[in-house]
Structure 1
Amino acid sequence: MPAGSGSVNPVIPAAWEAMVIVAVAFIAALFIGALISIARSRNHTPAGAALWVLAVAALPVLGPVLWFLTGRTPSRPGRPGSP
């Protein structure tokens, strides 16, 4: 590599690299958020929570989306944490 050329990738534009970084950060945040939400959930048995953790780990993008759409149940009135 010639001196002074830096670390710029000549094949992939910088905008694409930035979009990939943002997408990976979003997916990582979704993954971690789903794991925290599963751990805090009181609506599932330990076995059910373990199955959700396995689903989220096996499907790193689809698993968290499924958890947030179907796995979470709204808290009932009178339970701690409900308004």
Structure 2
Amino acid sequence: MAPGETRASSKTALLDAAAQLLTRIPPTEVSARNLARETGVNYGLVHYFGGKDRLLAEAYERLVRRFVDDSGTVLWRAS
């Protein structure tokens, strides 16, 4: 696997883990170590991809997009 593919798959795995954690626990209880452990990647990768807060924000965006895409309807729009 090429380095760019490895980075992309690691980030995808972290975002998937963040989304899963957010369905089980509040964001204030998600830690960078939880994300790394859940994903099976090195803890340092969490920081490489912008840190816990950035990954959680991206995970939330992905969850919302998935929900909107699945339903075909926007239920909420920021003003």
TM-score category, normalised to shorter length: 0.3 to 0.5
* Larger fraction in helix: 2
* Structure with bigger RCO (C-alpha 8 Å, 6+ apart): 2
TM-score of the superposition, structure 2-length normalised? Answer: 0.35
Between Structure 1 and Structure 2, whose CA radius of gyration is higher? 1
